[in-house]
Amino acid sequence: MLMNRKIKNPSEFGKVLVILGGHSNEREISLESGRAVIDALQFLGVDTYEWDPAITSLHEILKFKFDRAFIVLHGRGGEDGRIQAILEFLNIPYTGSGVTSSAIAMNKATSKKIFQANNIPTPQAKIIHSLADAIQSSKDLNMPIVLKPIAEGSSLGMTIVTDIKDLDSAAELALSFNGIALAEECIIGDEVTVTILNGEALPSILISTPNIFYDYHAKYQSKDTQYICPSSNDSNLEKVYSEIALNAFRAIGCSGWGRVDFMSDCNEPPKVLEINTVPGMTEKSLVPMAAENYGLNFYDLCWQILETSIKID
């Protein structure tokens, strides 16, 4: 059971480095998430320190010889395998998924190919490099379509395009991040997310927003966004979400903890949009919400995520 701690004494974790902030477009959310984690771990008696790579150099931080790291870097640099590779080179254990699985999950096109190869339902999509590609994708996939950067989180740069006249600006926005983007079939229906923690799926969450979709504003600023957990009273549907989420997580090779996001209409099975390997840990974040419904408070959640840095036979 998740409620049973594998590590009983906080001293067994040693000196823990919480990595937050960084240089990505999700820096501010990462700082908020990281500070919430630091407060929780310190309350639990864990010897906790923080490192913001945008402020302090790796050379400076290594002087203190940490025993493990709790990664709360969102977006590029934190979820794409880079910080994981650095920590592995330094032989410092860390929370969550490894180098390869982090990199794959961050790349929406690569992860989608793996979902398709493993018969995991996911929206159809095309890679685009230009407006011409976007126009062709709108014909191949049929309008409306979703345009989004290939490797950003928090719905940054994402647009639902319902009219061809809006395609130019949407493509320009999506491509502005790194010159490559994804055009995806637009599913009109429920937006649902499932947290994975230590090999188990937590209760799903249905997200309801008056916005066109669950964008950055709806995630972090709006007071009108509503969350229903579990997403349905139908135990069979909840089981479907759990099984697909776990299969998607395993297919990418993810481990420890993460979040699987879905879109679902009433006519087809839920479809996986993406996997977040370092989800938000703010007061508005979905992982703490699912954990609370399961019976884990924020302190227990942080403890169990930290335990993912320890290999136990």
DSSP state of 142: -
- Bridge partners of 202, per DSSP, are none
Q: Which residues are catalytic?
A: 26, 154, 220, 259, 261, 274, 276, 280
- Bridge partners of 258, per DSSP, are 196
Pick from 167, 162, 149: nearest CA to 274: 149
- Cβ contact 49:14 at 8 Å: no
Cβ-based neighbour number of residue 263 at 10 Å: 24
